Amino acid sequence: MRPQTAGQVPMNYHKLDNIQALRGIAALIVLLAHLGGLGGLYPFLPKFPAGWGVFGVDVFFVISGFIMFYVTRSTWGQGARFMLSRAARIYPLWWVCLLLEAPWMLGYLSGKTDEYFAYAAKSFFLFPALSPSFKLYPPLVPGWTLIYEVFFYFVFAATMLTPRRFVSLKILAVFLCALAVGSVLPEKSALKLFFSNPIYLEFLFGIASAELFLAGRLSKRIAVGAALTGVLSVLIISLGPKLTPVQFESFRFVWFGIPATCVVLVALWLEVEGFQAGRWLTRLGDASYSIYLTHELPLASIPAALAAYGLTGNGTLAIVMIGCSAVACGLATHYVVERPIHRWTTFLLNWWRPVRHAPPPVQ
């Protein structure tokens, strides 16, 4: 851990080390969740209970809400610039990974039209679309979370047209309206499934955490309370009655969103107190987007190759190798693809629409 002066809110608004490290950890536990299910597809691989690892998605959502409010301290009001920067950050790597995972999408880019054209086009731009199995999944399945991210960015950009006060309440009002719209839309429609899932409330938890953090009100008492609340939530989930998938998804923002917020608050308090994650964890966090988007490629290809060549003797060693390969693939993608693209898109965006920094508002 790298110390800083205790009690001070870090002023580097590009990233906070502990939050960045949490992004890396979140990507790893999502990977772990998917590794745990491989044994159901390939009998030679051990199957272990890691479904809880999807909790990493909820951590991502809370962190996203926090970061969006945190980094716009001196650029509030520049909603168009915000959306352009988010698009430049999200779409290029998404398109690269999508076309690698689903090369049949190239046909639609060259003018092909059939009954799946609308699904392909919406998935390409991360709009809600029903898959052929009537689920809210794009061809590259982890992209379902990015659809919610894009929705949140639109809402946040619209909020930037208003003064930077009561941001949590404004976005809460929009989200409640979205839930109301979802309740009256036709059944089995993409927008119905999308708006009816209140998981996007987790972005709001992140914004509230940022407001608390920037106001300097994140005390030891709040951090300890958050830690205890997180532990209590885990105990309730673990020891309470088993939930059906519908019950879980309907209240996921509670079952997983509250513990995720508690984790973020504790990480922030540790940052203020001078305890920061090590550099290797923050580097992992830098690559978290690449790890998240690319991890399904090794998980789909390596077990199939092992089975095809009869290399099925040691399943435990195989699962470790697959997991390490997925992390290595994500790190390589980050350094070889994501970072160069991000560098160029940032340069072009700053040249075309320079950011205008204003003094941070009084919180």
194 has a pLDDT exceeding 90: yes
**Residue 361 belongs to some domain of the structure:** no
The string of pLDDT tens digits covering residues 124-134 is 999 999 988 88
Residue numbers of the domain that contains 122: 17-352
Confidence of residue 1 (pLDDT cuts 50, 70, 90): very low
Stretch 90-109: mean pLDDT, rounded? 92
Judge whether 202 lies within some domain: yes
In a domain, 170, yes or no: yes
> Could you report the per-residue pLDDT of 222-256, keeping only the tens digit for each?
999 999 999 998 888 888 788 888 888 889 999 99
Assess if residue 306 is contained within a domain: yes
- Contacts of residue 66, defined as CB under 8 A and 6 or more positions apart, other chains included, come to 19, 206, 207, 209, 210, 213, 264
Q: Which of 254, 277, 171, 268 is nearest to 219 (CA)?
A: 268
Count of structural domains within the chain = 1
Residue 62 pLDDT greater than 50, yes or no: yes
Asked if residue 195 is part of any domain, the answer here is yes
Long-range contacts of 101-110 (CB under 8 A, 24+ apart): 101/139, 101/140, 101/296, 101/297, 102/139, 102/140, 104/139, 105/139
pLDDT in tens, 155-174: 999 999 999 999 999 999 99
- Contact of 21 with 286, CB cutoff 8 Å: no
Give pLDDT tens digits for 305-351.
998 888 888 889 999 999 999 999 999 999 999 999 999 999 988 88
DSSP 8-class letter at 52? G
User: Is 30 domain-assigned?
Assistant: yes
